Each structure stands twice: as C-alpha cells, then as structure tokens.
Amino acid sequence: MRRIRRMEERDLEQVCAIENAVFTEPWSRTSFERALKQEQNLYLVCERDSEIEGYCGLWGVAGEGQITNVAVKESARRQGIGRQLLESLLEKGREAGLTAYTLEVRVSNSGAIRLYHRLGFGDSGIRPDFYERPKEDALIMWRL
C-alpha cells in the first residue's frame, strides 16, 4: 500500500537516487537537507513497502508556494503517483495558508505540462534558456 507523507532526512538516499536518475541538473543531498530544515518549505514522498517511489516539494514565500521538485522513479510511472503527490502538496500548502503556486517546467515536458494543466495551473510565460543541460526554455506556470 502506498502512502504520502512528509519527507524526512532518512529518505534522502532514495530521494537523491531518483533525483540523479530523473534530472540532468540534480539537486545535491545538501540542497535537500537545507530545504528540509526551512520551516516554510514542504516536501513529500510517496512510499510503498519502505521504498520511495516519488517526491515533490515547495518553498513557501509570502503566502505563495514555489514548487521546486517533482519526480517519480521510472519503474513507478504512469500510476498516478505524481498527481497524488501534487494534490497532497497543494492541500497541505492550502492548510499552511498558501494561496498561489508557481513552477517552471521544460517546454518539451508535455506529460508534466498536461498534468499541471489538469491540476489548475495556467501558462504564464517563458524563461529563455532556463535549463542548462540540455539548454532549453522553461514554461512558467501559476495556479491562483
């Protein structure tokens, strides 16, 4: 059975393994450790039988949530985990007083963009050359 819960430091080995497998510019373990220590931030994992299958997180700033990471390990994709994680993140953010959310996503990541649209995010602009490896624009999205 899967459960979504707050990310803890003990999860970081598995989280970083997913991060390194999914992203061309992965966060370091230190970056996750710092993010977890900030009270206004919220990071969640999806766990099944002590295995982390995905995670997401946001930085809370002035009543808004900047979604920073969303990743699901390859073997667990296409099972609704990303959607469940984001719905939980948005709900917990709302409970914490966040009223708007933003994120950036590679313009080529059509699957993620479709998911964000289904969750109520709208296109807001482009950040040219936001990503380095490979160089690519980011689509800025907001949910108000």
Catalytic residue numbers, as ranges: 104, 116
How far is it, in rounded angstroms, from Cα 96 to Cα 35? Answer: 17
Pairing of strands 51-61, 122-132: unpaired
R_g of the chain, CA atoms, integer Å: 14
Closest CA to 16 of 4, 28, 7: 28
Half-sphere exposure (Cβ direction) of 104: Cα atoms closer than 13 Å: 12
3-class secondary structure, 22: helix
Query: Residue 38 carries which DSSP code?
Result: -
How far is it, in rounded angstroms, from Cα 59 to Cα 52? Answer: 21
Q: Which residue's structure tokens are 């009543």? A: 63
